[in-house]
Amino acid sequence: RLQSLNEAQALVQRLKKPWEKAYQMTWVEPILLFTVKASSEMGLFAALETRPKTPDELAKTTGTDARLIGRFCRILAVNDIIGATDENAYFETELSRAFADPDGLVNGIHHSFDLILPVITKAPAYLREKHYDSPSDGAHPPWRTFMDSPDLWTWFREHPDAHAHFNSFFAILRAGMPPWTSMFPPTKLLKDFDASTMLSVDVGGGKGGDARHLAAAVSSSHPQARIVVQDQPEVIAAARESKDLPSQIELMPYNFFDEQPVKGARCYFLHSICHDWADYEAHQILMRVKEACTPGYSKVLLLETVLPEKVQDTNPRAAAMDINMMLLFGALERTERQWRDLLEGAGLKFVRRWEVEGNAQCLIEAS
């Protein structure tokens, strides 16, 4: 499916003339983004049903102007976000149903307005002032200039609604991806596992989503294997409120720039941690992990994007995320060569990559 989708998208791009591409980028995509946000906030998506409705019917349901409804529905329909009949009545689609859920994908649209759009409007001037030097200072990333805040996480604490949009959107994205245990067989961790040690330490593991996957995979054969989830105190406090946390999982406040308190675990797992940091800071994070490892026993697993060495093989989403990481953190998405260099610089050995179709990320095994 993914190969067919990529080939179809590549064909469409080849068929477009330059002015058509520019028109799409300049007017269609930004206006569509605005329309989806406004339509969500006015209740349009929630008002749609499988039965086609006229703009007058939708206006009555939402308490809004039928003329505005009609104009919004036109652009939504021609972009296949909602369905339309020959009589200009409108009905729901799989995508519009997703946008109707206030806890669902629409949070990605809100996130764009909260964060992405404010940042990219200021980025050109910033790069001009810096003489187009590629940002790579994790201590002073472009973000600090754009948003007048020391870092993204401080800004999120000051803007809880924006943080909620971000968390909800990424939870939906991760829920749609295969679990990391489908890439890396947990049996490789269980082989020669010493039950007196932690099976896994999930560094920066949030509320424990990845740890739950591991717990489910090993609970029948090794019900006493212990898994630690580490994150900032406020994240751990929120995780403690969960009523269904597996008994194998322990929660621990921790800053990954500090000495790792759990020594000699079978595995140290980091999901999308290093891509938030420039090389200097990422090196420091991995050094703390390396110092805690037992040589010949501990494994380091990184669930991260690995950019292809050939540009033409790169997924557009991964290329865009690389720019996003640069603007927010002075960080980057890395190629396999760059990951090898980063790991080796921290005294770790790159062992291999694990991947499955349908997951945008790879699992990097190191020791």
Residues designated catalytic: 275
Strand-strand pairing, 334-335 and 200-203 = unpaired
Grouping H, G, I as helix, E, B as strand and the rest as coil, residue 251 is strand
Report the C-alpha dihedral over residues 166, 169, 174, 175, rounded to 10 degrees: 140
| CA–CA distance, 16 with 277 (Å, rounded to integer) | 37
| CA–CA distance, 302 with 266 (Å, rounded to integer) | 14
Q: Which residues contact 285 (CB under 8 A, 6 or more apart)?
A: 203, 256, 257, 270, 273, 274, 277
Q: Give, in order, the Cα–Cα distances in Å from 92 to each of 47, 73, 85.
A: 9, 11, 11
Q: Which helix (H) or strand (E) holds 352?
A: strand 350-354
Residue 355 sits at the vertex; the CA angle it makes with 350 and 357, to the nearest 5 degrees, is 160
**β-sheet bridge partners, residue 354:** 363
Two tokens at 1? 């499916």
Q: Which helix (H) or strand (E) holds 164?
A: helix 160-175
Scan for tokens 């409007």, then name that residue.
121
What sign results for the dihedral spanned by CA atoms 226, 227, 231, 236? negative
